[in-house]
Amino acid sequence: MEFVVGIGEVKIANSGILKTIGLGSCVAIAIYETKLKVAGLAHAMLPKSNGLKSAKFVDSAVEIMLDSILSMGGKKRNMVAKIAGGAQIFKHLTLDNLRIGDRNVEAVRTELKNRGIRIISEDVGGTLGRTVYLYTSDGRVLVRYSNGEELWI
């Protein structure tokens, strides 16, 4: 069974595949609890929530996922993360404040590090859109690019 994670959403599952489509500057954050085989996937749009608890933002998306997995009996020491996205789709936009993809990736790295979750694989940056599939059976992540190419991370 496939569960679609929309823009600004988080989903947690212990079976099937979590999928998010249309990643440009947005970032997909996959957290996998290796003992329970519970997976969380977020599709975050912006780096900082400034106090709003919404999965649209990297910091609160990570918090929501961790809280959900911990409430199911997960342990941080058994969690690993994979991230994808953060592209610069519009190459002509070069002002730092418009480089949302780069800022999203940096926010994910910082947030996960601060919470003690290790990133074991990533596919970030570039100029292509992505679709991400997270397999709950083993934590594998497939990245499918807008040009049809695929990469396992």
The residues carrying an active-site annotation are: 26
Rounded (to 5) percent helix, strand, coil in the chain: 25, 40, 40
Residue 94: how many other CB atoms lie within 10 Å? 9
Contact between residue 34 and residue 78 where contact means Cβ atoms under 8 Å apart: yes
Whole-angstrom Cα distance, residue 21 to residue 28? 9
Angle CA 66–54–45, to nearest 5: 95
